[in-house]
Amino acid sequence: MSDETGEVFAYDIQKVLKALPHRYPLLLVDKVKSLDLGEKIHAVKAVTFNEEFFQGHFPGAPIMPGVLQIEAMAQAAAILGIETLELAGTGKLVFFMGIDNAKFRSPVTPGCLLDLEVEFLQKRSRVYKFKGRASVEGKTTSECEFTAMIADPPKA
């Protein structure tokens, strides 16, 4: 996040936990490197061997599922949306509505730092369209466009 002087502030796991309702094992954003409110976000997921999905995907050749890369991009987009609209701590949730043009380019393995870059494409009252790209050391691993809605949680 930056202020009017352009100074970049650290966005650690504590701030991520305040913005997102996700928790282990489904929390897929570890920190935010930069956040340009109303525009874009650059977040990071540290992919470690002890992620639960590596037990079955695939034993002996662990690869992060592409759908989880998209989920990580969506979580970064949720932070962007929640922070842009100043809704952190309100209990509002961000729900997927659609995923378009998903492409999987390169495998993600344990030990990688997965960069998540997401930008707004379109903003309407409660529905937003994003473009996301996941990469490792500058090499694209997956990309997609997706639509999400900010809403109250479902009633119990």
Query: Which of 99, 100, 82 shows the shortest CA–CA distance to 91?
Result: 82
Q: How far apart are CA 90 and CA 49, in angstroms?
A: 34
Tokens found for residue 67: 């759908």
Catalytic residue of the set 22, 57, 123, 129:
57
Are 88 and 11 in contact by the 8 Å Cβ rule? The answer is no
Identify whether 57 is a catalytic site residue: yes
Distance of alpha carbon 48 from alpha carbon 97, whole angstroms:
29
Active-site annotation, residues: 57
